[in-house]
Amino acid sequence: MSLFHQDFLQHSWPSINRGAWDYEDDFSSDNWTDADATNIGVGSGVLSFDSKKDGSNDKSYYDYGSTVSDTAWVLRFKSVLSTVTQGSLNPEFHIFTGLASGTGSASVSQDHILWDYAANNFDGLLYQFQSRDNDTYGANSTGLNTMAHTLQAETTYNELIRTSATTATGELFSDSGYSTSVESESITIPSNVTNLRYISVANLVGTGGDSVIIGSYDDMKFADGVTVAP
């Protein structure tokens, strides 16, 4: 190969995605910031979570370091749910996972696009999605979509893709190669959901209730500026 061709291959088209994830975490070390590590945090090689409501802001987040694309990104992670129980008492319980514009609790207004694991005594056990512009996380949100597949104790491989300024997709897979789909949902999001920067895992702040969502995440990956996983 000529020196010209070698240099051309090495230095041309620097903006092309060459197939690498921008962020990967196997949680062998703790690179996340905890608002309250009692119920959500990194340890023993995973990011563990418990939806228990103790009146505090249980949240862990990773600072990507800059705002991500407002039209294209991919988030993947392995999800292991060990205990999922529908209680008989209000209020509802949630574990929110995705990207947000701020580091505050679920009760603090911020832009977000999220997976939402939900358990309550009136709607049941749900995999759902939500997106809001400068608002709190919550059950009744703009762009809320619910899967037919029931939230349960199981291992899944989750994908969340922002496909445009106003659309996203969420998909459950049964295998680590993300080739066997369990279910996929299209999500309509507000066009002014912007300035997302923090990969976040949070519960719904509150007290009371008796539903339970306990589990962990592993092998989390994020790619910015693309709509297809590297």
The Cα–Cα gap between 39 and 115 comes to: 18
Residue 2 is predicted with a pLDDT of 44
Residue 105 is predicted with a pLDDT of 80
Residue 137 is predicted with a pLDDT of 74
Q: Domain boundaries in the chain? A: 20-224
Contact present, 220 and 197 (Cβ < 8 Å):
no
Half-sphere exposure for 108 (CA within 13 Å, toward CB): 12
Residue 165 is predicted with a pLDDT of 96
Residue 19 is predicted with a pLDDT of 63
20-224 fold: Jelly Rolls (2.60.120)
Give the DSSP H or E segment for 93. Answer: strand 93-100
The Cα–Cα gap between 230 and 222 comes to: 9
Tokens of 138: 């919550």
The Cα–Cα gap between 178 and 186 comes to: 17
Tokens of 7: 């240099």
Q: What is the pLDDT along the chain (230 residues), one digit of tens a residue?
A: 443 344 333 333 233 344 699 999 999 999 999 987 788 999 999 999 998 877 778 899 999 999 999 999 999 999 999 999 998 877 788 999 999 999 988 778 899 999 999 998 778 899 999 888 877 676 454 557 899 999 999 999 999 999 999 999 999 999 999 999 999 999 888 879 999 999 999 998 878 788 899 999 999 999 999 999 99
Residue 9 is predicted with a pLDDT of 35
Give the DSSP H or E segment for 181. Answer: strand 181-188
